[in-house]
Amino acid sequence: MPPAPADSAPIPPDRPAARRVGRAYFSRWGVGLCLTDPQGRVIEAYRARGWEGPSHETVRRLAIDEALRWGEPAVQPGPDETVLWAVPVMVNARVAGGLVAGIAEARLFRRGSTAPVIDVRAACTDLRRLAEEHNLTNAALLELRRQAYRREQARAEAIHAYKANPFFQLRSTYLLDEPSLVAAIRKGDRHEARNILNRLLVAMIHHAGDRLELVKSLFMELVVTMSRTAVEGGGVPEELLGSRYDAIARLATIHDDEELASWLNEMLERIMDAIHAAPRHPHAAMLEHAMRIISERCCEKLTRDQVAEEAGMSRSHFSRMFRQHFGCNFSDVLLRLRTERAAKLLAETDRPLKIIALECGFTDQSHLTRVFRQHYRVPPAQYRREHKNTKD
Amino acid sequence: MDLAPLTESIRKGNRNDARRYTQDAIAAGISPATILDALVRGMDDVGQRFQRNEIFVPEMLIAARAMKEAMNLLEPLLVKAGIRPAFTAVIGTVQGDLHDIGKNLVAMMWKGANFGVIDLGTNVPPQKFVDAAREHNAKVVGLSALLTTTMPAMKETVTAIRQAGLHDVKVVVGGAPVTQKFADEIGADGFAPDAATAVTVVRQLLA
């Protein structure tokens, strides 16, 4: 059931429960809270001061709306150099107000330091959990929102990722999509498999434009990578790419879109057949689950052991399988995803670097800068200058 | 004369055949409207198969190009015979968003369905949509956005269109972050999750 609009008949929020959350939250995080109405007007404050004025109300309302939209508190830069996040206070499916937490940047970052004094992302999640524990919000609805938007977000980010740095991103996007692709093929769900492939193809075609040779090389990479997966699962290389790789040789002779479309169609269907029939994919489902955890929670404190455990594999086995299947290790993927997310925020927002570092799961700004340089070969500030409001 | 091979050439995306069969049909004196129907039938089929995830994107692209080749031959005759697209649709990516991939796919499918298409490009301010809809007497405005940050610009554009008194104009929205719920919230008339559905949605809205 969709939540009622914020301005429908007002519902009184549970103030005693809100107070309990305020106390618990302050003792855990040292961050003050206020209970607001759906418009962001303060009803009661718990260890929070100086949040008056219409601009504060607007940001608080935005923070509540955003949390409702994504199912999770999201860090918002507030007026007067504050940072805030919120959870909607709900009575069944109706919004009764919000619990808004906030801290001045000056308190969050000690003088001269770019490392925050608390883990803001964990504090965001904890606020939601506390509100859920005290029955102040609709946990089921927020969970649904998180699920719905994860997929939408992933789609948008996948396309964006290509645009920011297509060749680098192409591989990691494929990597993220591969487990679901393989799972869909193994289940015999060709429609879903084509849907995933079409997302990748759209991005490739968009990037390459009219440059047929570039389109060809991108398609070839996709076909070769998918073949590798099929061979690893027990497929016969000759059946996939032909003896002496003649499918690849044939690609070299193609000079026309129509032939290329037909070549690609034939190759992808053939590889999907091979993956479907391949006898050995014992860990595909677990690795898919692991990759989904990494992708969805890459900005949180996430360890290899934690992911292994949640995916139902032993730690050492997980590392070996992960490397064997994806050709890189857990921390490579995690850092790559965090860096890509940071790159996206740099290009699309004006948020300060230290805030972006926090949001993306880096320990501090200098950590982000160091990793960013390794991936993109430029410092974050330069990347922002070059990619801000540009198409490619 | 049997126009099935012409329809088939569009379905298969064979532009040489599409051109040849169109020429043959014109030479045989078949009315431009009948030829157009055969082309649109082919493109509709491609759109539906894409919607059902039965084909890959490159196959849709070559079909659209074959359609374009045939239309190059047919268009002068359609104009001469006074046959115009049933209506005009204005399309663009909303202000603040520079992505054109989804918008281009929709424009391509709309052209394939024989809608008159005015493509305003990317980063289009609300007023420009209003002006273009008015100038071309458009029945449909298509808004695309790829960034979550530009979704509010969609709402502004819908509001601008309504405030300009263009009440008959149907607004269709789409793009990776857009959902049916969002479309409902901002008062859009239709939501298209992909390019092929955009054709179906418009046809339903204008039926």
Predicted pLDDT of residue B66: 92
Bridging pattern class, strands A76-78 and B116-119: unpaired
The alpha carbon of residue B99 is apart from the nearest alpha carbon of chain A, in Å, by: 7
Q: What is the mean pLDDT of residues A215-243?
A: 81
pLDDT at A209 over 50: yes
This prediction's pTM:
0.54
Neighbouring C-alpha atoms within 13 Å toward the C-beta of B162:
11
Q: Can you read off the two tokens belonging to residue B69?
A: 């080749």
Q: Of A141, A49, A48, A160, which is closest to residue A91 (Cα–Cα)?
A: A141
pLDDT at A8 over 60: no
Q: Do B99 and A159 touch (CB under 8 A)?
A: yes
Shortest CA distance from A209: residue in chain B: B101
Predicted pLDDT of residue A315: 77
Q: Name every chain B residue with its beta carbon within 8 A of the beta carbon of A349.
A: 149
Q: Of B126, B130, B143, B141, which is closest to residue B177 (Cα–Cα)?
A: B143
pLDDT in tens, A18-42: 999 999 999 999 899 999 999 999 9
Task: Report the C-alpha gap between A179 and B93 in whole angstroms.
Answer: 32
Q: Name every chain B residue with its beta carbon within 8 A of the beta carbon of A257.
A: 58, 61-62, 65
pLDDT in tens, A273-310: 887 776 555 566 677 778 888 888 888 888 888 888 88
Task: Note whether ipTM > 0.85 here.
Answer: no
pLDDT in tens, A119-171: 888 899 999 999 999 999 999 899 888 887 776 666 666 555 545 554 446 66
Q: Do A260 and B58 touch (CB under 8 A)?
A: yes
Q: Name every chain B residue with its beta carbon within 8 A of the beta carbon of A160.
A: 146-147
Residue with the larger pLDDT of the pair B24 and A308: B24
Q: Of A245, A250, A251, which is closest to residue A220 (Cα–Cα)?
A: A251
DSSP secondary structure code for residue A5 in this structure: P
At residue A52, what is the residue type?
Answer: E
Q: What is the mean pLDDT of residues A315-336?
A: 82
Number of H helices and E strands in chain B, helices first, is 9, 5
Q: What is the mean pLDDT of residues A323-342?
A: 85
Q: Name every chain A residue with its beta carbon within 8 A of the beta carbon of B15.
A: 258
pLDDT at B35 over 80: yes
Residue with the larger pLDDT of the pair B137 and A198: B137
Inter-chain Cβ pairs, chain A and chain B, closer than 8 A: 77
Task: Report the C-alpha gap between A268 and A100 in whole angstroms.
Answer: 50
> Which residue among B50, B101, B149 sits closest to A348, beta carbon to beta carbon?
B149
High-pLDDT (> 70) share of chain A, %: 86
Task: Report the C-alpha gap between B43 and B112 in whole angstroms.
Answer: 6
Predicted pLDDT of residue A4: 46
DSSP secondary structure code for residue A44 in this structure: E
**Is B19 near chain A, with CB under 8 Å?**
no
> Which residue among B57, B99, B148 sits closest to A205, beta carbon to beta carbon?
B57
Task: Report the C-alpha gap between B85 and B116 in whole angstroms.
Answer: 5
Task: Report the C-alpha gap between A96 and A6 in whole angstroms.
Answer: 8
The H or E element containing residue A141 is helix A139-164
The alpha carbon of residue B54 is apart from the nearest alpha carbon of chain A, in Å, by: 6
Predicted pLDDT of residue A291: 84
**Is B11 near chain A, with CB under 8 Å?**
no
pLDDT at A1 over 50: no
Q: Of A153, A85, A79, which is closest to residue A122 (Cα–Cα)?
A: A85
Q: Give the list of residues 6+ apart from residue A188 with CB closer than 8 angstroms, or none.
A: A276
Interface test with B, best of A196, A201, A202 (most B CBs within 10 A): A202
Predicted pLDDT of residue A284: 67
Predicted pLDDT of residue A388: 72
Count the residues in chain A: 392
Task: Report the C-alpha gap between A120 and A85 in whole angstroms.
Answer: 9
Task: Report the C-alpha gap between A8 and A10 in whole angstroms.
Answer: 6
Q: Name every chain A residue with its beta carbon within 8 A of the beta carbon of B105.
A: 202
Q: Do A265 and B179 touch (CB under 8 A)?
A: no
Shortest CA distance from B9: residue in chain A: A258
**Is B187 near chain A, with CB under 8 Å?**
no
Predicted pLDDT of residue A109: 81
Q: Do B101 and A258 touch (CB under 8 A)?
A: no
Q: Do B146 and A160 touch (CB under 8 A)?
A: yes
Q: Check: CB of residue B101 under 8 Å from CB of residue B73.
A: no
Predicted pLDDT of residue A6: 46
> Which residue among B101, B147, B181 sits closest to A202, beta carbon to beta carbon?
B101
CA distances, A346 to each of A19, A371, B146 (Å) = 37, 14, 17
Q: Name every chain A residue with its beta carbon within 8 A of the beta carbon of B193.
A: none
pLDDT at B12 over 80: yes
Q: Do A159 and B13 touch (CB under 8 A)?
A: no
